[in-house]
Amino acid sequence: MSGSTDNARGRRLLLAALRPHRWGLLAGIAAGLVWCAGKVAVPRLVGIGIDDGLATGDTRTLVVCAVAVAAIGVVSGAAAGLRRYFGQVVAWRVEADLRVRIFAHVQRLHPAFHDRTPAGQLMARAATDLQQIQQPVVSIAMIVSNVVTVLAVTVLLAMIDAPLTVVALGSVLLIGAGTRRFSARLQPLARRLQNELAGLASVAEETVTGIRAVKGFGAEEVEEERLRGRTAAILDAALGMTRLRAAFLPLIEFFPALGLAAVLWTGGRAVAAGSLTVGELVQFNYYVLMLVGPLRMTGMIVAQFQRGFVAATLVDGLLRTRPEIVDPPAPRSLPARDAVPGDPADTDRRPAGGKGRAGSPAPAGAVRFENVWFGYGDGPDVLRGVDLRIEPGETVAVVGATGSGKSTLLSLIPRFYDVRRGRITLDGLDVRELSLAALRREVGVAFEDAFLFGGTIEENVAFADPGASPAHVRRAARLAGAHEFVSALPGGYGAPVGERGLSLSGGQRQRLALARAILADPRVLVLDDVTSAVDPAKEHEIRDAMAEVMRGRTTILVSHRAATIALADRVVLIDGGRVAAEGTHAGLVAGSARYREVVAAHWAVV
């Protein structure tokens, strides 16, 4: 794809982002035009003051011209301030809008995209690139006023002396040719710099996120060397841009000076010949000097816009990435969960979702895997023709060796990925026929790597239902076996969990993640090895809580601890991407050598 096409996409993104803020942009441009009118009027007043006042001794004309120049200075100063203010306001709002768009879009993208895209690169799109987009937006009103100034000055110069104007503007053509070449050479350097900045962000994000691994392996110097390499690449790209600008700027300084010298020589001879007055020559020179400022800014403006267009193109590329997992055109609705008879006095103990008593959900949640084939990206099949029926309210443990596809099997139910062939149904409906929001409300997931967000413990437990009452939060925590340790923390449920919850133990984080899933009150609960980081001495507490939560609720769990597997009504062995065996834990121990090998390999007590 050509650079011009890339820039066109960047320009379109900027125009679309500016459209909602066009009135602020127009206000800044209007202020810039007022500034331009004032600047253009001053040389004319100076010329009148010299020819009609100074040359004739008319002090009244001199006073009027002087006062007018001072008044114009006040108006132009105010207009310059407003031009800057409106430009900055629009720039910040455009940046804020794009940042929200990026954040919302990234959240909608499928997990496979995040599997292959470094988080640091996404952070660079939402931070460094948006800052580069902001700079040219700030300059738009300034550019318009400068362009109008150049055009107005050119017309006024021609009105004073057309042949002299041709002499004066000869340097402008030279600058235009140089600017075009400068812009073409600058674009690849700007793109390289933005890409290197994204790479630096990725290294920094990985190092900070994995700081415990870095320290655990004493790899500080290794990471420092990685960062040094990225920094050197950024420095090289930045210096390349600096060298290019340094080579261009002397032309910007020299050509206007050359034009001014030509004007002084030619205009001075015209004054001597009587075809031009002194006031007109001073006025003419004043106008020529007014061209110098905009011309000197050309290099800076071109550099800003090149980097802005490159950054906008990168952002546009991210926003153009289409999610692979999307809602169907006409989503269907799951059948309503039947009411569950129970003690009316227990009604006030229902979770915030209000879909049945906690621990006694309605008998819904039938899950079917029908000839399911799946592989990641273009890779080989991980699951090969899986057929599995899970009845409403049944608890099924999925067991398999590392890499056998058991976690993959679980991730297909809430449509983190879509099957290649076959289908998965929930209560008789293909999960691809349901909206993602509806499906994921009904399928609660607790992962092996329990992730906690910045905030309090209560906010983390109520993540799926921010409106949940404190009583519901505490009940979910009790069911997950978390209430005791939370109550012992300074601040209790209001205690901050710290960055990624690393101030808590792995078992504590997993209990809170389980409580979060419980509070959502789903009809299907998916537990991906949630007891793996729990102290065996405390595991029985979570098992007791899990037993209550799973009662009457469809539950699919991955585990290799015999005591946890024993909670299941049925155990499914996944081997080689297929269902290799099914039955009770005791039955498989007695009848499946492969099952015994897998469980024994994970240090389970059989």
Per-residue pLDDT of 499-529, as tens digits, reads 666 677 777 887 888 888 888 888 898 888 7
The sign of the torsion formed by the CA atoms of 480, 485, 491, 497 equals negative
Provide the pLDDT confidence category of residue 570 given band limits of 50, 70 and 90.
very high
Catalogue the E-assigned strands of 507-603: 524-528, 554-558, 570-575, 578-583
Q: What type of residue sits at position 25?
A: L
Q: Domain residue spans in the chain?
A: 3-319, 353-601
- Give pLDDT, residue 209: 63
- Give pLDDT, residue 90: 92
Q: Which of 160-169, 214-223, 596-605 has the highest mean pLDDT?
A: 160-169
Whether residue 558 is predicted with pLDDT greater than 60 in this model: the reply is yes
Q: Which of 232-236, 367-371, 382-386 is predicted with the least confidence, judged by mean pLDDT?
A: 232-236
- Give pLDDT, residue 283: 76
Residue predicted with more confidence, 479 or 594: 594
Whether residue 1 is predicted with pLDDT greater than 60 in this model: the reply is no
Average pLDDT (574-592) is 87
pLDDT digits (tens, 9 = 90+) for 333-372: 888 776 433 333 333 333 333 343 344 444 588 999 999 9
pLDDT digits (tens, 9 = 90+) for 98-121: 988 988 888 888 888 877 877 777
| Cα–Cα distance for residue pair 360/494, rounded to 1 Å | 29
Whether residue 594 is predicted with pLDDT greater than 60 in this model: the reply is yes
- Give pLDDT, residue 383: 92
Catalogue the E-assigned strands of 316-404: 356-357, 360-361, 367-375, 381-390, 395-400
Q: What type of residue sits at position 397?
A: A
- Give pLDDT, residue 507: 74
CB 450 within 8 A of CB 501: yes
Judged on CB neighbours under 10 Å (0-12, 13-18, 19+), 347 is exposed
Q: What's the token pair of residue 349?
A: 């103990």
Q: Which of 159-163, 366-370, 415-419, 570-574 is predicted with the least confidence, judged by mean pLDDT?
A: 159-163
Q: What type of residue sits at position 467?
A: G
CB 71 within 8 A of CB 19: no
Whether residue 38 is predicted with pLDDT greater than 80 in this model: the reply is yes
Q: What type of residue sits at position 268?
A: G
Average pLDDT (547-566) is 79
- Give pLDDT, residue 217: 52
Strand order in the sheet with 421-426: 381-390, 367-375, 421-426, 429-430
Q: Rounded to whole angstroms, what are the CA distances from 116 to 73, 110, 119, 258, 316?
A: 57, 11, 9, 55, 18
Q: Do domains 3-319 and 353-601 have the same CATH topology?
A: no
| Cα–Cα distance for residue pair 179/536, rounded to 1 Å | 71
CATH superfamily for 3-319 is ABC transporter type 1, transmembrane domain (1.20.1560.10)
Q: What's the token pair of residue 186?
A: 């600058």
Provide the pLDDT confidence category of residue 261 given band limits of 50, 70 and 90.
confident
Q: Tell how strand 524-528 and strand 421-426 pair up.
A: unpaired
C-beta pairs of 323-326 under 8 Å, 24+ apart in sequence: 323/108, 323/109, 323/110, 323/113, 324/110, 324/112, 324/113, 324/418, 325/110, 325/111, 325/415, 325/416, 325/417, 325/418, 325/436, 326/436
3-state secondary structure of 429: strand
Nearest partner of 567 among 592, 591, 550, judged by Cα: 550
Query: pTM for this structure?
Result: 0.72
pLDDT digits (tens, 9 = 90+) for 3-19: 555 668 878 888 888 99
Architecture of domain 353-601: 3-Layer(aba) Sandwich (3.40)
| Cα–Cα distance for residue pair 318/268, rounded to 1 Å | 59
- Give pLDDT, residue 215: 54
Instruction: Express as a percent the part of the chain with pLDDT over 70.
Output: 82
CB 513 within 8 A of CB 477: no
